[in-house]
Amino acid sequence: MAANGGEVHTASALTTKKSTTGYVWHERYMWHHGGKYAWNEWIQPTRHFESPESKRRLHNLLDASGLLEKLVRIPPRLATVEEITRFHTAEYVAKIQRLSAEYGGEAGDFATFGKGSYDIARLAVGGVLEAVDAVIEGRREGGEEGEVITNAYCLVRPPGHHAERDRGMGFCLFNNVALGALHAVAKHGLKRVAIVDYDVHHGNGTQQAFYKDPSVLFISIHQDSNYPAGTGYVEERGQEGGEGFTINIPLPPGSGSEAYYQAFDRVVLPAVRAFAPELLLVSSGYDAGFLDPLATMMLSSEHFRVLGQKMNGVAAEVCGGKIVYAHEGGYSDLYVPFCGHAVIEEMSGVKTEVKDCMLTDINHWGYHELQQHQDAVIKKCEVLVDDLQKRMAATK
């Protein structure tokens, strides 16, 4: 692997721009555990993919680079049962509470958890809700004379976007970002919220939450037919009043930077502009990174930085920069920290001396150019944007 020759990078070259970026973190997020994997008797038990390590290393990199001290800490809280049941059924919530009080158990497909995870999952939801409040209310750091918090990053765990109404899935217990959107509507009276999910796996739970709801635009860009099986296709567009307000972009395996850039420029950004949300939420997973063990995409930290630039830019256009990122997947302990750090640098406008020593490798990989089969998928999705633009024009 390429390396930096032993150089030591410090925080001495931090820019002086005052950050208005909120940051949600709690040590207890790292105490959630899903046990060990042992699919059958022929596989030696191994560490759970969704371990604390990649998230803790991201937090530690923020600290080591000096960026952490430039962020505005937003203390999380425990979400109430009333808040969680805005989406999840009371029976499902009670099940997680009961199992958590015992020895843990299974919330659903690939969603195991241990003792105490119920309250940790509530804390993850509560962290996103607090970030939504801070951004919508324009909360000020240190009182009336402080800087207004206009965006926020929630480094929460467990993740949420696979969790459905009555079951967990894919390492997720409660759907953090869906509950964040519902909170924005219920508490603050927002009429339009957009969610962009660039985790490499389809955000099936979030899609379910808003499939019939025209007040929330949901866009998922993911690897085609990865997880969950049988979801996330272009043809899934919403139902009843929500028809046209779900957009899926299932990119082929092996997609690189240009496929993602084109998908954002031709589908994601025009759709968000047409919908004109009052708040933008992002399910921020880094498993499209080239070192991730659960996908086969080819993004680098610098590619994620560009995606962050695009998201922050469109938020500035349509909703005064009000954007909240909720951490989702990403299973490379080595590489997730570089990706998340790059995104948070872009949110805060603070540049540090952190250098991704892996860029030399991924930048030499071939097929980052847009391929014909990738372009074909994006063209199908452009039709959905045209339809959304017509629907929004008809409401004016």
CB 103 within 8 A of CB 115: yes
Cis check for the bond before 158: say yes or no (omega within 30 of 0). Answer: yes
| DSSP structure class, residue 363 | H
Rg (CA), the chain: 20
Tokens 């540090």 correspond to 352
Separation between Cα atoms, residue 288 and residue 257, nearest integer Å: 10
Spot the catalytic one: 32, 161, 162, 341: 162
Host H or E run for residue 294: none
| 162 has catalytic annotation | yes
Separation between Cα atoms, residue 121 and residue 96, nearest integer Å: 10
CB 220 within 8 A of CB 245: no
Sequence-ordered alpha helix ranges (H) in 46-141: 53-65, 81-84, 90-101, 117-137
Separation between Cα atoms, residue 347 and residue 30, nearest integer Å: 24
Which residues belong to the active site? 162
